[in-house]
Chain A
């Protein structure tokens, strides 16, 4: 049996990625470059927020004391969110939306494929359900990487620019935090470090097919897993939390 605090921390490190990326995608509602991608982005947002709800409901149950999934989603401070920096990067243009999605989807699927064997039944169930959804997301983002990369000169340059910008945020995905260690020992969590090789291989395959290249990076950005975020996170959270902060306990 794992220490409860650590288990909660571990769940945040997975769930917060889905929340923040889901929030980013839902901001595109009505702003997608065309109707189909608009619908796709909001559909993926829905899947991610659905997964987030399952994780947070579980956390709320672990915490007890009448905590709800909404408290967890809306009422934490910035440093209490443990998502990776990658998912909080802004949707500068459509290339960034697709680049961010692709770089996260590949990791997300690898993670869930392992997490489905977790000894924690709830996490295993959420992962099993999520795999079906995330494989579809990955198919969507991979298709777009190829379409943009192998498209016109403008689309190629724009998606390459996004990949160059986002790639330095990927290394953090594989960092193992103190809470993760206990989760791994108890066979509840996944050792993210072991996913790196498959990740780089899977990303490279699509990137090459898309006639793109991965940048040579010497410096990788990290911090989100410790709660140290980029400046974008503050703006994102103020949008996300505004209603609950302004009208505490409001309900739809």
Chain B
């Protein structure tokens, strides 16, 4: 449950590694509520070792601090985060930022195994793209290259 009065503050906090994406659109905020005059927020990691989580926690506290609200942030692991929790608006911001949004699991598998060319280049829109590396600049991404415009780009791996 996310208390409606807290949404606007949380939406102003972004993923430090993907600054265009708010933590709300990322789907990592699991709950936010008032408790005895303080705010209690729980977030869930995208990947176990995601170094952005500690920063997100600090950023959330700082965002509330600015409104003179004290916030406690804790981490929950279950249920495990999935890319389905990225909102439609989040997917759009990813694309605009130059990161291809995750496909559905079946398509993702085919794309990552190189069976099918279906990941759309966020620069020129071509689907004639190839995987360069299963792992990308962060744990949640793989590295692709467009065979049309030749630009390399990140693909946000499907996690389900």
Contact = CB atoms under 8 A, between A and B. Distances in A.
B133 interface: yes
Contacts, number: 75
A130 B159 CA distance: 11
B98 interface: no
B47 A46 contact: yes
B78 A128 contact: yes
A132 interface: yes
B31 interface: no
Interface string A30-54: 0000011001100111111111011
Interface in B138-160: 138-139, 143, 157, 159-160
Contact of B48 (A50, A121, A124, A140): A50
A130 B81 CA distance: 11
Given A51-B48, A132-B160, A125 B77 contact: yes
Contacts of B159: 132
A45 B77 CA distance: 19
B138 to A, nearest CB: 8
A133 B77 contact: no
B48 A43 contact: no
B57 interface: no
A241 B19 CA distance: 34
A129 interface: yes
Q: Is the interface of B mostly helix, strand, loop or mixed?
A: loop
B47 A133 contact: yes
A44 B47 CA distance: 11
A47 B47 contact: yes
B47 A126 contact: no
A119 interface: no
A45 B160 CA distance: 21
Contacts of A50: 45, 47-50
A47 B78 contact: no
Contact of A54 (B48, B133, B138, B143): B48
Contact of A139 (B49, B79, B134): B134
Nearest to A49: B49
A30 to B, nearest CB: 15
A43 B139 contact: yes
Contacts of B47: 46-47, 50, 133
A181 B135 CA distance: 38
Contacts of A35: 133
Contacts of A53: 48-49
B134 A40 contact: yes
Nearest to A143: B134
Interface in B42-59: 45, 47-51
Interface in B79-100: 79-81
B136 interface: yes
A45 B49 CA distance: 8
Contacts of A220: none
Contacts of B107: none
A201 B81 CA distance: 31
Interface string B105-143: 000000010000000000000000000111111110001
A119 B78 CA distance: 14
A136 interface: yes
A121 B134 contact: no
B135 A36 contact: yes
A130 B79 CA distance: 12
A126 B44 CA distance: 12
A139 to B, nearest CB: 7
Interface of A: 35-36, 39-40, 43-51, 53-54, 121-122, 124-126, 128-130, 132-133, 136, 139-140, 143
Interface of B: 45, 47-51, 76-81, 112, 132-139, 143, 157, 159-160
